[in-house]
């Protein structure tokens, strides 16, 4: 019997379609192998073919925009938003408009062309996470930006235009609707119960166990109860923490290990599928005119996390017209496959 399940964080219903139940082998296999004869601007030695770097983790003594880097952050050559200018908010009849001011950066995760993020060493992934953290801290100093989203598109079907492993960052002058809804849910829940809703969900998942993928000392990965997509996973710190930028540097290796473990499980179970992941963290808390307490309770009610979505199904007319997602793989079954995957780190 199909089920309707409610996600209290995203305030949406999902259809778990057991009638259409699918095993991992029922989905389309791996990311297509690319043509290596094509030029890649992210490759080692092509630093002069990209915009100048804004941050890099480099070997001592090497100069910016030259070889010798481990992780490199550059402005996107074709940005969705531009860093120059003022917002200039204005009304257009009933509508509103502002200039497309923001930041759009690419985090090139390794000088090597072939490996995926899952293939990199734990130490190297920790450097990628360090780059995420430093760019969050730096860009939050710009009071025009209200939110900074870090995300990864892996594979052409997930939106990656270049196969060289990389992540992206977009800073926006408004807090995106999906993020704002999570923030408001968390704030309302805490005001009623004086508890973090994310911490309560983590406790429930650890109690029920059936959707757990992996428990680490400080982190937990599970398939959400109302998974919108097959083999969707959520990654949380087990302790309460509202801001990824506040993760101590000494914890980054464990975080990197847990992230690599999650990505390898997905790669093994679904034969290297395309995927997206997004890092959902606290927005900017810089004071806003007329809103002195804007997100003033974040440290108590919010919980940073990573949402990972394999791109193995297609969103079609029903989903677009109703907001309901149809998931053909119950999260309990997905978690079992992922939990039992033979992963070597």
Task: Name the residues annotated as catalytic.
Answer: 166
Question: What are the CA-CA distances from residue 214 to residues 152, 259, 260, 331 (Å)?
Answer: 21, 11, 12, 14
DSSP character at residue 93? T
Q: Which two tokens stand for residue 185?
A: 């849910």
């Amino acid at each position: 019997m199909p089920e309707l399940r409610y996600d209290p964080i995203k305030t949406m219903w999902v259809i778990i379609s057991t009638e259409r139940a699918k095993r991992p082998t029922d989905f389309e296999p791996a990311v297509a192998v690319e043509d290596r004869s094509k030029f890649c601007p992210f490759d080692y030695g092509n630093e002069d073919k990209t915009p100048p770097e804004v941050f890099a983790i480099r070997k001592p003594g090497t100069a910016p925009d030259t070889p010798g880097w481990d992780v490199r952050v550059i402005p996107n050559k074709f940005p969705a938003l531009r860093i120059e200018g003022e917002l200039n908010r204005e009304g257009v009849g009933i509508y509103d408009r502002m200039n497309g001011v923001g930041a759009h950066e690419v985090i090139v995760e390794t000088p090597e062309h072939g490996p995926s993020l899952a293939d990199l060493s734990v130490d190297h992934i920790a450097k990628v996470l360090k780059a995420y953290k430093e760019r969050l801290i730096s860009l939050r100093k710009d009071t025009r930006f209200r939110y900074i989203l870090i995300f990864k598109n892996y594979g052409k079907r997930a939106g990656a235009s270049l196969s060289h492993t990389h992540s992206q960052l977009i800073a926006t002058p408004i807090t995106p609707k999906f993020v704002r809804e999570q923030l408001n849910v968390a704030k309302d829940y805490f005001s009623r119960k004086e508890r973090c809703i994310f911490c309560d969900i983590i406790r429930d998942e650890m109690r029920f166990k059936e959707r757990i993928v992996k428990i680490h000392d400080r982190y937990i990965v599970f398939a959400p109860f109302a998974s919108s997509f097959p083999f969707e996973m959520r990654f949380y710190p087990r302790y309460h923490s509202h801001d990824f930028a506040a993760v101590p540097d000494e914890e980054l290796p464990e975080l990197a290990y847990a992230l690599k473990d999650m990505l390898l499980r997905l790669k093994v179970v679904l034969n290297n599928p395309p995927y997206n992941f997004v890092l959902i963290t606290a927005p900017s808390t810089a004071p806003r005119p007329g809103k002195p307490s804007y997100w003033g309770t974040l440290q108590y009610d919010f919980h940073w996390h990573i949402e990972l979505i394999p791109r193995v199904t297609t969103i079609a007319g029903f989903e677009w017209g109703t907001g309901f997602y149809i998931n053909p793989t119950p999260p309990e079954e997905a978690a079992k496959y992922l939990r039992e995957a033979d992963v070597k780190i």
